[in-house]
Protein backbone atom coordinates (compact mmCIF):
# COMPACT_ATOMS: atom_id res chain seq x y z
CA UNK A 1 0.00 0.00 0.00
CA UNK A 2 1.39 3.30 -0.91
CA UNK A 3 2.71 5.20 2.00
CA UNK A 4 1.05 4.05 5.07
CA UNK A 5 -0.20 0.55 5.39
CA UNK A 6 2.63 -0.70 7.51
CA UNK A 7 4.11 -4.10 6.94
CA UNK A 8 6.79 -4.18 9.54
CA UNK A 9 4.49 -6.34 11.63
CA UNK A 10 4.64 -9.19 9.13
CA UNK A 11 6.35 -12.13 10.78
CA UNK A 12 9.52 -13.34 9.13
CA UNK A 13 8.13 -16.82 8.78
CA UNK A 14 5.22 -15.50 6.78
CA UNK A 15 7.53 -13.61 4.49
CA UNK A 16 9.61 -16.73 3.90
CA UNK A 17 6.52 -18.73 3.03
CA UNK A 18 5.67 -16.21 0.37
CA UNK A 19 8.71 -17.24 -1.61
CA UNK A 20 6.96 -20.34 -2.84
CA UNK A 21 3.43 -19.11 -3.25
CA UNK A 22 3.49 -17.88 -6.81
CA UNK A 23 4.70 -20.94 -8.60
CA UNK A 24 1.61 -23.12 -8.32
CA UNK A 25 -1.89 -21.81 -8.67
CA UNK A 26 -4.33 -23.79 -6.59
CA UNK A 27 -7.35 -21.89 -7.79
CA UNK A 28 -10.41 -23.74 -8.95
CA UNK A 29 -11.79 -20.69 -10.71
CA UNK A 30 -13.02 -21.39 -14.22
CA UNK A 31 -13.79 -19.07 -17.07
CA UNK A 32 -17.46 -18.23 -17.40
CA UNK A 33 -19.33 -19.23 -20.53
CA UNK A 34 -19.16 -17.04 -23.59
CA UNK A 35 -22.88 -17.22 -24.10
CA UNK A 36 -24.49 -13.97 -23.01
CA UNK A 37 -27.30 -15.83 -21.30
CA UNK A 38 -24.75 -17.40 -18.97
CA UNK A 39 -23.89 -14.07 -17.47
CA UNK A 40 -26.64 -11.89 -16.07
CA UNK A 41 -24.89 -10.01 -13.30
CA UNK A 42 -21.33 -9.12 -12.37
CA UNK A 43 -19.53 -11.84 -10.43
CA UNK A 44 -18.42 -10.90 -6.95
CA UNK A 45 -15.05 -9.24 -6.85
CA UNK A 46 -12.48 -11.56 -5.20
CA UNK A 47 -11.98 -9.02 -2.42
CA UNK A 48 -15.62 -9.40 -1.44
CA UNK A 49 -14.89 -12.88 -0.19
CA UNK A 50 -11.62 -11.93 1.47
CA UNK A 51 -11.13 -8.80 3.61
CA UNK A 52 -7.81 -10.05 4.96
CA UNK A 53 -5.93 -6.80 4.41
CA UNK A 54 -8.49 -4.92 6.51
CA UNK A 55 -7.58 -7.15 9.43
CA UNK A 56 -3.82 -7.41 9.02
CA UNK A 57 -2.23 -3.98 8.82
CA UNK A 58 -2.22 -0.63 10.46
CA UNK A 59 -4.13 1.70 8.13
CA UNK A 60 -2.62 5.13 8.51
CA UNK A 61 -3.30 8.28 6.57
CA UNK A 62 -2.59 11.98 6.65
CA UNK A 63 -4.91 14.09 8.78
CA UNK A 64 -6.24 16.08 5.84
CA UNK A 65 -8.25 13.11 4.62
CA UNK A 66 -10.37 13.24 7.73
CA UNK A 67 -11.24 16.92 7.38
CA UNK A 68 -14.61 18.22 6.25
CA UNK A 69 -13.17 20.02 3.23
CA UNK A 70 -11.48 16.86 1.92
CA UNK A 71 -13.33 14.88 -0.71
CA UNK A 72 -14.09 12.26 0.18
CA UNK A 73 -13.86 12.89 3.88
CA UNK A 74 -13.03 9.75 5.82
CA UNK A 75 -15.89 9.74 8.36
CA UNK A 76 -14.57 11.11 11.66
CA UNK A 77 -16.12 8.35 13.75
CA UNK A 78 -14.10 5.70 11.90
CA UNK A 79 -10.58 6.90 12.66
CA UNK A 80 -8.50 8.11 15.56
CA UNK A 81 -5.29 10.01 16.04
CA UNK A 82 -2.13 8.01 15.84
CA UNK A 83 -0.44 8.14 19.22
CA UNK A 84 2.77 6.47 18.27
CA UNK A 85 4.77 9.62 17.89
CA UNK A 86 6.77 10.79 20.88
CA UNK A 87 6.88 14.33 19.64
CA UNK A 88 5.22 17.10 21.60
CA UNK A 89 3.42 18.25 18.49
CA UNK A 90 0.06 16.65 17.67
CA UNK A 91 0.44 13.76 15.29
CA UNK A 92 -0.38 14.54 11.67
CA UNK A 93 -1.42 10.93 11.20
CA UNK A 94 -4.74 9.20 11.61
CA UNK A 95 -5.42 5.51 11.74
CA UNK A 96 -8.57 3.60 11.03
CA UNK A 97 -10.06 2.43 14.30
CA UNK A 98 -9.13 -1.11 15.14
CA UNK A 99 -6.09 -1.27 12.90
CA UNK A 100 -3.69 -0.06 15.60
CA UNK A 101 -4.02 -3.28 17.53
CA UNK A 102 -0.58 -4.90 17.24
CA UNK A 103 -1.81 -8.45 17.66
CA UNK A 104 -5.29 -8.51 16.18
CA UNK A 105 -5.76 -5.54 13.89
CA UNK A 106 -9.18 -5.29 12.32
CA UNK A 107 -10.70 -2.16 10.94
CA UNK A 108 -13.95 -1.41 12.72
CA UNK A 109 -15.48 -0.43 9.38
CA UNK A 110 -15.10 -3.97 8.08
CA UNK A 111 -18.29 -6.00 8.11
CA UNK A 112 -18.76 -9.70 7.56
CA UNK A 113 -16.57 -12.74 7.91
CA UNK A 114 -13.04 -12.77 6.57
CA UNK A 115 -12.57 -15.33 3.85
CA UNK A 116 -16.30 -15.62 3.24
CA UNK A 117 -18.18 -12.35 2.68
CA UNK A 118 -17.11 -8.88 3.65
CA UNK A 119 -17.92 -5.27 2.99
CA UNK A 120 -16.55 -1.89 3.96
CA UNK A 121 -18.90 0.49 5.74
CA UNK A 122 -17.09 3.50 4.31
CA UNK A 123 -16.10 2.15 0.91
CA UNK A 124 -16.78 5.32 -1.06
CA UNK A 125 -14.96 7.39 1.57
CA UNK A 126 -12.21 4.97 2.53
CA UNK A 127 -8.76 6.48 3.05
CA UNK A 128 -6.04 6.59 0.43
CA UNK A 129 -4.08 3.55 1.68
CA UNK A 130 -7.17 1.43 1.11
CA UNK A 131 -7.68 2.87 -2.36
CA UNK A 132 -4.08 2.22 -3.28
CA UNK A 133 -4.00 -1.33 -2.01
CA UNK A 134 -3.93 -3.80 -4.88
CA UNK A 135 -5.13 -7.37 -4.91
CA UNK A 136 -2.66 -9.84 -6.35
CA UNK A 137 -2.98 -10.22 -10.11
CA UNK A 138 -5.88 -7.82 -10.40
CA UNK A 139 -3.64 -5.84 -12.70
CA UNK A 140 -1.57 -8.79 -13.81
CA UNK A 141 1.05 -8.73 -11.09
CA UNK A 142 1.52 -10.32 -7.71
CA UNK A 143 1.21 -7.96 -4.77
CA UNK A 144 3.06 -9.36 -1.77
CA UNK A 145 1.08 -7.40 0.79
CA UNK A 146 -2.15 -8.90 -0.44
CA UNK A 147 -0.55 -12.34 -0.30
CA UNK A 148 0.77 -11.71 3.20
CA UNK A 149 -2.63 -10.62 4.45
CA UNK A 150 -4.35 -13.64 2.98
CA UNK A 151 -1.78 -16.01 4.44
CA UNK A 152 -2.29 -14.46 7.84
CA UNK A 153 -5.89 -15.50 7.63
CA UNK A 154 -5.29 -18.94 6.19
CA UNK A 155 -6.23 -18.00 2.65
CA UNK A 156 -4.19 -18.91 -0.41
CA UNK A 157 -2.72 -16.00 -2.32
CA UNK A 158 -4.72 -15.05 -5.38
CA UNK A 159 -3.39 -16.10 -8.75
CA UNK A 160 -4.16 -15.23 -12.35
CA UNK A 161 -6.88 -17.86 -12.63
CA UNK A 162 -8.83 -16.21 -9.83
CA UNK A 163 -9.43 -13.26 -12.12
CA UNK A 164 -10.44 -15.10 -15.26
CA UNK A 165 -14.10 -15.43 -14.36
CA UNK A 166 -14.22 -11.88 -13.05
CA UNK A 167 -12.69 -10.30 -16.13
CA UNK A 168 -14.52 -12.37 -18.70
CA UNK A 169 -17.92 -11.79 -17.08
CA UNK A 170 -17.24 -8.06 -16.91
CA UNK A 171 -16.27 -8.09 -20.57
CA UNK A 172 -19.43 -9.93 -21.58
CA UNK A 173 -21.62 -7.60 -19.57
CA UNK A 174 -19.99 -4.60 -21.20
CA UNK A 175 -20.78 -5.86 -24.70
CA UNK A 176 -23.85 -4.35 -26.33
S1 LIG B 1 -11.74 1.52 5.59
FE2 LIG B 1 -12.72 -0.19 4.51
S3 LIG B 1 -11.18 -0.85 2.99
FE4 LIG B 1 -10.09 0.38 4.54
S5 LIG B 1 -9.34 -1.09 6.07
FE6 LIG B 1 -11.35 -0.35 6.77
S7 LIG B 1 -12.82 -1.87 6.00
FE8 LIG B 1 -10.91 -2.12 4.85
S1 LIG C 1 -6.04 -9.12 0.98
FE2 LIG C 1 -5.99 -8.89 -1.23
S3 LIG C 1 -7.74 -10.14 -2.00
FE4 LIG C 1 -8.02 -9.79 0.21
S5 LIG C 1 -9.37 -7.99 0.30
FE6 LIG C 1 -7.23 -7.29 0.48
S7 LIG C 1 -6.63 -6.77 -1.62
FE8 LIG C 1 -8.49 -8.05 -1.75
* pLDDT, tens digit (0-9, with 9 covering 90-100), for 97-132: 999 999 999 999 999 999 999 999 999 999 999 999
51 CB under 6 A from ligand 2?
A: yes
What is the DSSP code (8-state) at residue 120? Answer: E
Q: Which ligand 1 atom is the nearest neighbour of the CA of 126?
A: 1
- How many angstroms is it from 164 CA to the middle of ligand 2? 16
Look up the pTM and report it. 0.78
Alpha carbon 84 to its chain centroid, in Å, reads: 23
> Are the C-beta atoms of 65 and 125 separated by less than 8 Å?
no
3-state helix vs strand vs coil in the chain, percent to 5? 30, 10, 55
Nearest CA owner, ligand 1 atom 7: 110
pLDDT at 151 over 90: yes
53 CB under 6 A from ligand 2?
A: yes
Question: What whole-number distance in Å separates Cα of residue 36 and Cα of residue 164?
Answer: 16
Amino acid sequence: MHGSRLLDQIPGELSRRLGSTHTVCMSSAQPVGRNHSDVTEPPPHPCQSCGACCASFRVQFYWREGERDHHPQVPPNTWQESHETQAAEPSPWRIMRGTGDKHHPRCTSLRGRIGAFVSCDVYSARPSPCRAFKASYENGYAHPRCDEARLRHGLKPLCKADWVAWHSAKQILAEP
